Homo-oligomer: A and B are copies of this chain.
Amino acid sequence: MKKVILVGGVAGGATAASQLRRLNPDIEIVIYERYEDISYGSCGMPYYIGGEVEERDSLVNMTPGKFRDKNIFVKTGHEVTSVNTDENTVTVLDKANNREITDSYDYLVLSPGGSPKKLPSVKDGEQVFSLHRLADLDYIMSYIEDNNVKEAVLIGSGYIGLEVTENLTAKGIHVTILQHDERIYKNIEADMNGVLYEAMTEHGITLKLNTEIDYVDGSQAVLSNGEKIDAELIITGVGISPNTGFLNNSGVSLKNGLIPINKNGQTNVKNIYALGDAAVTHYQHIPEITMQAALAWPAHRLAHIIANQISGDSSVTHEGFLGTNIVKFFDYHIATFGLSEKEVADVPHFVIDQKQKNKSGYMKGAAPIHVRVYVSTETGIILRAAVVGTEGVDKRIDILSAHTRLGGTVYDLINIEIGYSPPFSSPKDIINMVGYKAREKAENL
């Protein structure tokens, strides 16, 4: 009987294990997870803080017990510390017993994720947390309650920073966001992020640009500008580092600490697969450019692909990813897909901007949406799209990405037949108008 070991039991590993069992009633499946919680929806954690998620346990999909019922063995508190690709074995630290064990596999699936980067300047604060694991959420919630927190400091303004800010605010906690440079939420264009400032003003959030914490002094933080502010709770959101140290000298190739995979989800070692935040692949629409698939959607898709591959169906592959993503910050929605701004700068392109209402302009509550697309001058393919507004942003990014995925050009956007009725769009939706504008531009190039 073949045996699969999965390293990491959060979204990627847990989904891969379930799919493996679905496809193979008889295969042996073991998950090693170095922490205690498995199979939870980490994207939902910020919303439990603010009460949009009412039950903490609704964030958990599968428990070790439920996995056991499927004959999948989950060992939590077990950290894989090295891989021997010649022997097909892993060394595992059983942390509770401080005991090292060796286990062997036919297939190894790596879903180790990442760890939040630490800031040395705040190491002295007992009120310092990051929101990465389910246990972090529990710590934060207890800490808020025990200390009746009214003043929080958020370091960083990535999507988790924004979501946590919104939810702390919903809980009645005043938030100060510290951004070390002068640009917040770098996933969106600097000249399109005005809605974030608007929302912060509307909701009484304090933003300090070009500011860091120098050190923590009890329940206060001393800032780089000399100011001292209340900081009963400090949450850091300054990025993650992939947990791939255990692969050093294993024979599994790394690139900038990430694990490159091919269309089968395979690493350079043919019986070892990888997915999740530590994996790196390429863009679907521009395969020459590498992309890190550190999003929930690609992790779930790869889990299926890898399960199929291991189960012998080599026809199920991935084609790269677009990196479609969206964040909500109060009433505002920000979404992008494709190359980063930096990456797109190296590809010959032109830009189309269109601002238009999300529904028929004569309707009460019609609100502006701003779509920007970066179009390959050579092929007409959308290299990158950015959409900002309130309602209807998700629809537009998803249409653009579905269209681009199948090879549709910007010029062909005029033919996308959006379901029209005044509460939903216009007879010429913003998506269509981007196409009309691009045609006009191309005629005048």
A44 touches B422 (CB 8 A): yes
Asked whether A428 lies within 8 Å of B300 as measured between CB atoms, the reply is yes
Q: Which residue of B lies closest to A387 (CB)?
A: B419
Separation of A399 and B397 alpha carbons in the complex (Å): 10
Scan A279-311; emit 1 where CB is below 8 A from any B CB, else 0: 000001000000000011111110010000000
- Label chain A's interface by main secondary structure: mixed
Given contacts A58-B362, A363-B53, A399-B399, contact A405 B394 (CB under 8 A): no
CB distance from A285 to the nearest CB of B (A): 11
Whether B419 pairs with A397 at a CB distance below 8 angstroms is yes
Residues of chain B contacted by A422 (CB below 8 angstroms): 41, 43-44, 47, 52-53
Q: Are B405 and A417 in contact (CB under 8 A)?
A: yes
Interface-lining segment among A175-183, A210-218, A406-414: A406-414
Chain A 313-347 interface mask (CB, 8 Å, partner B; 1/0):
00000110111111110000101010000000000
Known: A297-B427, A328-B423, A406-B408. A41 touches B418 (CB 8 A): no
Q: How far in angstroms is the closest Cβ of chain B from A296?
A: 4
Which of B11, B394, B406, B423 touches A424 (beta carbons < 8 Å)?
A: B394
- A18 shortest CB reach to chain B, Å: 12
Query: A116 interface residue, CB < 8 Å from B?
Result: no
Q: What's the Cα separation between A337 and B419 when bound, in Å?
A: 8
Number of identical monomers bound together in the oligomeric complex: 2
Residues of B within 8 A of A54 (CB): 364
A421 interface hit (Cβ, 8 Å): yes
Residue of B nearest to A313 (CB): B443
| In contact, A427 and B299 (Cβ under 8 angstroms) | yes
Contact of A59 among B322, B328, B362, B414 (CB under 8 A): B362
Q: Which of A298, A324, A337, A421 has the most CB of B within 10 A?
A: A421
Judge whether A169 is part of the interface by a CB distance below 8 angstroms.
Answer: no
Which residue of chain B has its CB nearest to the CB of A47?
A: B422
Task: Check if A147 is an interface residue, CB within 8 A of chain B.
Answer: no
Which chain B positions have C-beta within 8 A of A47? 362-363, 422-423
Inter-chain CA distance A68–B327, complex, in Å, is 47
Bound-state Cα–Cα, A163 to B423, Å: 11
Does A236 have its Cβ within 8 Å of any Cβ on chain B?
A: no
Chain A, range 189-217, C-beta contacts under 8 Å to B = none
Of residues 401 through 445 on chain A, the ones whose CB sits less than 8 Å from some CB of chain B are 401-403, 405-408, 414-425, 427-428, 436
B319 touches A360 (CB 8 A): no
Which residues on the B side are within 8 Å of A397 (C-beta)? 419
Q: With a CB–CB cut-off of 8 A, which chain B residues contact A251?
A: none
Residues of B within 8 A of A418 (CB): 297, 324, 398, 401
Contact between A325 and B420, CB atoms less than 8 A apart = yes
Pair A360/B405 contact, Cβ less than 8 Å: no
Instruction: Tell me the nearest residue of chain B to A397, going by C-beta.
Output: B419
A55 at interface, CB cutoff 8 A: yes
CB distance from A149 to the nearest CB of B (A): 22
A2 near B: Cβ within 8 Å?
no
Docked-complex contact B361 and A297, CB < 8 angstroms: no
Chain B residues near A395 (CB-CB < 8 A): 394-395, 398
Do A401 and B421 touch across chains, with their CB atoms under 8 A apart? no
Residue contact B417 to A324, C-beta cutoff 8 Å: yes
Q: List chain B residues, Cβ under 8 A from A327.
A: 421
Cβ of A65 within 8 Å of any chain B Cβ, yes or no, is no
Shortest Cβ distance from residue A206 to the other chain B in the assembled complex, whole angstroms? 24
Q: Would you mind naming 10 contact pairs between A and B with Cβ atoms under 8 Å apart?
A: A53-B363, A58-B362, A159-B421, A296-B420, A297-B420, A300-B428, A318-B415, A325-B419, A325-B420, A326-B419
Which 6 A/B pairs are nearest by Cβ-Cβ distance? A326-B419, A58-B362, A406-B406, A395-B395, A296-B427, A300-B427
Interface residues of A (CB under 8 A from B): 11, 41, 43-44, 47, 51-55, 58-59, 159, 163, 284, 295-301, 304, 318-319, 321-328, 333, 335, 337, 360-364, 394-395, 397-399, 401-403, 405-408, 414-425, 427-428, 436
